[in-house]
Structures are given as C-alpha cells and as structure tokens.
Amino acid sequence: MTPPVTPEVAEPPRIDPALWAALEAELDAAVALRHALHRDPRLSGDEGDSRDAVLEAVADVLGEPPETVAGTGAMVRLGPPGVPAVAVRAELDALPVVERTGLEFSATGAAAHVCGHDVHVAALVAVVRALGRAGADRVPAPLLAVFQPREEKAPSGAADVAADPRFGAHRVGAVLGVHVQPELPRGTVSVRGGPVNASSDEIEIEVHGRGGHGGYPHRTRDPVLALAAIVTGVHHIVSRRVDPMAAGVVTVGQMEAGSAPNIVPETATARGTVRALDADRDELLAAVRDVVENTARAYGCEATLTVVPNEPAVVNDEALARTVARALGARRSGDRSDATGLVLDTTFRSCGADDFSHYGDVLPSLMLFVGTTPAGSTPGEGPGLHHPEFSPDDAMVGEVARALLAAVAAAGAALGGTEASTAAVTTGPNP
C-alpha cells in the first residue's frame, strides 16, 4: 500500500509562545514520571502498569477518555474531532537487561529502560499536558498521542496499532516518532527524508554433519568447521555481494555446538540478523542462503537457513521531513521565544531497526533523532542503545519534548490546519 502524500509547507509555522511556556512548566513533572517508569520497568507485552501510570499523569487535561490499543497500549486525543490529526508514537516497553547505570532511580530487576523509551514517553506526556492546559484553541493541530507497547519484541505493537480501525478513525494525516541517539552529539536533532533505520530479519543456521571421535576427524563430517566457514562467509556478503553505495549488515551473534572437547558433534547452529537500509532486503537474504547451503556442501555437510521476518526499513516521508526540518532549523537560536535550543542535522541514519516502520507502510511518517552524547565526548564511544549502562540524563526529556512540539506544529501546518489551530500556527515568515 502506498501512503498518501503529505503537502509540503514552504515556511515554518509560528507557534504561540504560551505553548512553549506551558511546555516548560510541565518538564519537572515529566522528569518525575520518567524516574517512576525507569525505576519500575515493564517488558514487551506486560506494559499495563506503565500505561496506567501514563494515563494517570494526563487524566486531568483530557477532554475525551483514552482508548486502549494493542492490548497494553493507549491512545489519547487533543483537539477538535473530525479533522486530520498528527499522531506521535512513544514506546512503553523496556528491555530484558540488568541495569548498571548506578542512577538513584535505577531499576533493580531483570528489566531496564536502556533504550531511552522512558525519556520518549515522559517527553510526549509533557507535550500532551502542555497542549491540554493551553486549551484547544492553541493546539497547533489535533494531536493523537500513541503510547505503544511491544516495540522491542514481536508481535509488533506498531503493526497492531496501524491496523486498528480505532487508530484509523482519528483520520491521522501524519505519524511522528522520536528516538534518543548516542551516535549524535548533545543538542542535535536529526531530520531527513528516505531510509533512516534498516529492516531487520532474524536468521538461524543449522548445519548437519557426521559426528565422531576428535582423534579420527577423517571419519567425520565436521559441522563446527563448516559453520565457522559459513559465519566467515556471510560476513563477506556485504563487501562483495552488495552495492558499496547501499547499506546492509549481516551479524551472527550466537553459535552453539558440541558437548565435549574431544567429540565432533552431529550438528552446529548459529543465530543472527540481516539488516538492509537501502540495500535490497530480498537479495541480501538470498545471498545469505547461497553461502549457507553451498559452504556446508563444500565441507560434506548439509545446512538449513530459517528466516524470521521482523521489521521493514523506516523510510521517512520526504515532504514531511523537509517541512519539519525547516521548522526545527528556524528554532535553533536560543534568543527566540519559541527556540528548541537544538541544532538541526540532516545527515544521520543507521542500521538500527524500529517497528515505527509499520506506520510508514500506511501513512506519511517521520522519525526524528535527538543526540545524547555530551560535549567533550565522542559520539559512539560511550555506552550505546541497549547497553546496561546507557541512560540519557533528565534534561533530555525537555530536549525531546521541544523537538516534538515543533514537529507537531509543522506537521499540522502541512495537513492544512484547522479552525482551532489557526490561532496558534501561521505559515508566514518567522520573526
């Protein structure tokens, strides 16, 4: 299905300064919510408690009751009904990781928010509360806040939300997402069109040989040796089977074989992922299969490849990206009343994956990235996403919230605005 086209806005919208003031007034409470979510995380599919905490935090500013979605998620809408809305997604789930951040509000169990989802949720709550308190006549566009479950684990929460008729009933015209990013310097927000996150598919390789005594290798057909050659071979695919101007990644992260050091086993297995940003996803998987099957035969073994499809690539809508980039670029000066304080980047993309891609299959969508690496440090050298020591500082809640508010205003202007929104958004030159 081809998503509808989002109109492009040539000039960035001007936002009522009262909205910025309302947002700043909500940040302390949003940080407190971030601490509560971080201290008591929930894994994919078990986010009900986190959802309820979020709904409690926004209950007093909602005109309409929240809607449950995707089992343990929720949607809340602000602004007039019956007109196109801008949806903003934030993820509720944590990862099955034991945290080592040493934070005062650190999680103590076997789950942790080490991907920044707690920051995303708290920032979106701040935006919802600011818009709710400012009043419907100041809302830049109707906002549909989607607190989504199961980003980290299949079945995809995003796919379920995108397919839900209740989501469609809100006449969503554009979907925004945001992710903190340690590969970017602090104070940077990245917006660009086209592929920005890769597709991701899981693979399992199983090699079958002939077992036997380690002292008589000629009587065996060693699946361990065959698997070692396969692992080396699949990692060469990107350098020799993929256009060097197109990004793709093959990673084998698990290998398992044998029961004793002097026994050649019957089988050996490996698991990994195959990612394609702008490389051809199907061609990449076909090349992996060729290497797996033919290398095994060269060692007198047989091999099977099982592919578990995961997420498609995140592809940002080009027109929406240009519109939002103009708005964010116009607000990078700290002496403006509506300044985000963030410097615009239009180059970043990565081979990380995100189920946000499912929204882009049906609607114009845009993923923003906000940098977390502090001044004086090199992006990528500190703990990264999913690392037990990764945790953005609390000020990131405000940075993400400001980026979201500017993006919502720009996306709303691109959708044409509403009678209620014209009091807050114009498309004339910024002062």
pLDDT tens digits for range 15-49 = 788 899 999 999 999 999 999 999 999 999 999 99
Higher pLDDT, 421 or 18: 18
pLDDT number for residue 338: 56
Work out the burial of residue 11: count CB atoms within 10 Å of its CB; fewer than 13 is exposed, 13-18 middle, 19 or more buried: middle
Report phi then psi at 345, rounded to 5.
-120, 140
CATH fold label, 199-311: Alpha-Beta Plaits (3.30.70)
What architecture (CATH level 2) is domain 14-198+313-426? 3-Layer(aba) Sandwich (3.40)
Cβ atoms 343, 190 nearer than 8 A: no
Cβ atoms 252, 289 nearer than 8 A: no
Cβ atoms 372, 185 nearer than 8 A: no
User: How many Cβ atoms sit within 10 Å of the Cβ of residue 15?
Assistant: 25
Could you tell me the residue ranges of all domains in the chain? 14-198+313-426, 199-311
pLDDT number for residue 24: 96
For residue range 160-192, list pLDDT tens digits in order. Answer: 999 999 999 999 999 999 999 999 999 999 999
For residue range 198-214, list pLDDT tens digits in order. Answer: 999 999 999 999 999 99
pLDDT number for residue 272: 97
Residue 161 CB partners (closer than 8 Å, separation 6+): 69, 70, 73, 75, 89, 146, 148, 167, 358, 359
179/296 Cα distance (integer angstroms): 41
395/372 Cα distance (integer angstroms): 10
* Mean pLDDT in residue range 271-292: 97
pLDDT number for residue 344: 94
263/46 Cα distance (integer angstroms): 43
* Mean pLDDT in residue range 315-344: 81
Three-state SS at 395: helix
Report which of 364, 371, 315, 320 is spatially closest to residue 345, judged by C-alpha positions: 371
* Mean pLDDT in residue range 387-408: 96
pTM above 0.85, yes or no: yes
* Mean pLDDT in residue range 360-364: 96
For residue range 131-164, list pLDDT tens digits in order. Answer: 999 875 665 679 999 999 999 998 999 999 999 9
Cβ atoms 196, 346 nearer than 8 A: no
Of all residues in the chain, the percent with pLDDT exceeding 70 is 90
Placement of tokens 């498609």 in the chain: 312
pLDDT number for residue 421: 39
For residue range 210-259, list pLDDT tens digits in order. Answer: 999 999 999 999 999 999 999 999 999 999 999 999 999 999 999 999 99
